[in-house]
Chain A
Amino acid sequence: MNQRVLLEVSELKKYFLIKKDEGLFSQTVPLKAVDGVSFTLHENETLGLVGESGCGKTTLGRTVIRLYEPTGGSIVFDGQEIADLSAKELLPSRRKMHMIFQDPYSSLSPRMNVTEIISESMENDASIGPRERKDRVLELLALVGLNSDHANRFPHEFSGGQRQRIGIARSLAANPKFIVCDEPISALDVSIQAQVVNLLKEIQESHNVAYLFIAHDLSMVQYISDRIGVMYMGHLVELASSSTLMQHPLHPYAQALISSIPVADPHTERTKTRIAISGEIPSLINPPSGCAFRTRCPRVGTLCDQVTPELKEIDADHHVACHLYDK
């Protein structure tokens, strides 16, 4: 990809301090939600992020746009290091990034009408006057497929798909370059999901935005993403172009994850072989030594419990963190 790099994240860490045991002598221990994740995102690109619940994909998305304070590591956004900026210094960059949330029911204030919701993020921008603001709202509504009649209504008057459209219009209000989409379609009905995904794609083309697309529905992620990263217990275990990852996944976890997605085609379902992984995700407070996946891995080796594998480039643009591919 010859596009300019928009976002460069390296060794990003986010630990939450939680109480272990109750009572007088309770200790606080770190829960390593995101533990040393590095990736780059180009302008106008979509990076998909998949993994099971609790793997840290949402935390990563929120930390990248500084909704959470990072514990360590660096985030270079548009040529500027933003990981340790103060809230005030961060403001100019803040405008260039936005977020679309999972639940269209709870992410819109029930007491604000659509115009107020969408124009809120323009309020701090002195260059846009009140009249322009109103025009901009109507323009955005048209863009997401709603009309001007909707501008004075309240969120409860809309269906789930329409609310998600309002959320998308809000995220575009300040002309961002980067939007984190945190499971934007998982709360919607099947027939509506495709509408919203098409809309996101159209907007990317017309507005030049880059997406970090977090989801667990792999078939949709494959469709919308240029590259996909697979996360497991706070680590990025594989990162590759969308077609490479879906057709030739290398990490045993990615292989199992991809083989377990049900395909809406009875012939494929009858003939395909599933790579079953047993057991469930271990506790994040007390993660396994070495590779976090070794407790469930069907191809576990001798090195796996001692050395944590690092994300290495195996092929052009195909990164894997697994000892199986050590040279």
Chain B
Amino acid sequence: MATLLTVEDLKVTFSTKFGQVNAVNNISFTMNEGEILAVVGESGSGKSVTALSILQLLAKNGRIRNGVVSFGDHNLVTMPEGEMRKVRGAEISMIFQDPMSCLNPVFTVEYQMEEVLRFHKKEMSREQRHSRMIEMLELVQISNPEQRLKQYPHELSGGMRQRVMIAISLLCQPKLLIADEPTTALDVTIQAQIVNLIKELSRQLHTSVMLITHNLGMVAGMADRVQVMYGGEIVETAPIDVIFYGSRHPYTSGLLKALPKPNMGDEPLHPIPGSTPDLLLDHIGCMFYERCDYAMECCRDLTPPKYRISSDHMAKCWRCHPDFSETAEEKEVREAR
């Protein structure tokens, strides 16, 4: 598969009145054409900031300290704003968490959809634009598209608005769609509809999707590859089955273990102790050290390097060091998972 997007050594900080927050710390990853990459992590792990840095949409107090985002032949970090505008919405587009606040309440659906085409597809005639909009609304399974075009966002339900957002984001057939918690604000039955829709459209239109979420269930049903983030770092990357059945980072396995399983009976859940790290402070050693069941002395003082376990599996944990040998007991526990 060809590479679509490469992020190298990206570091993003925010200056706040409490000091500098290191939101994303030197992360590197690639995305392939046509794949669905899930970015998983808790709030504050840097997953949304990563997405916003790709699109150069960081808030005013946010700054990309270093790093390269290569998309095609371009580096998006150094791209001038005028050029960047041509990329946003046309080549890379984004769906946000809250469909209630992403559509402009004072314009009709038609106006907001047409705006994208008028800007990016200047060669299109009015009729072409109209038929394209109808086509997209049908693709996202909205009934009576002609009538919906004339409506305002408040006349649509939450699920319907999210469908409109997806239709808008796919109007120009982008190569990359970033979906930031696309179903969090929706009900379970609607969630399933939207997830299936995004998955189907990605296959149909050959669009890569970067799915940002904390819902591991959704990841299991949708993603090809998973990237786990913690405290502004990527701690593990692997294909979907490896993450769920053979993860090597204690945080990944901790997240999976914390979920309730059917037939658990009265057995207590296995939470990860403690809470997420404070990114205002400078951290030395492993970010997960304080909460880790397997922490060793070296984890406190030395930042673990990225270990390649196989060609597509990376984990940032000292336990993956070639000289590390786990005790028989630990091995049993790991394999029992």
Contact = CB atoms under 8 A, between A and B. Distances in A.
Nearest to A191: B272
A191 B245 CA distance: 19
Contact of A191 (B159, B240, B262, B271): B271
A256 B190 CA distance: 11
Contact of B159 (A162, A266, A274, A280): A280
A298 to B, nearest CB: 12
Contacts of B255: 190-191
B260 A223 contact: yes
B258 A222 contact: no
Q: Indicate the size class of the contact surface on chain B.
A: 35 or more
B274 to A, nearest CB: 9
Interface in A159-196: 159, 161-162, 189-195
Contacts of A222: 260, 262
B8 interface: no
B104 interface: no
A265 B244 contact: yes
B130 interface: no
Interface residues of A, number: 39
A181 to B, nearest CB: 15
A190 B216 contact: yes
A262 B241 contact: no
B220 A269 contact: yes
A262 B195 contact: yes
Residue among A195, A219, A277 with most chain B CB within 10 A: A195
Nearest to A50: B188
A190 B189 contact: no
Contacts of B264: 223
A256 B189 contact: yes
A189 B269 contact: no
A266 B244 contact: yes
A192 B259 contact: no
B187 A191 contact: no
9 contacts: A189-B276, A191-B258, A194-B259, A194-B272, A198-B268, A263-B220, A266-B244, A274-B196, A276-B192
Given A223-B264, A262-B192, 7 more contacts: A189-B43, A190-B216, A191-B276, A194-B258, A194-B271, A220-B260, A261-B188
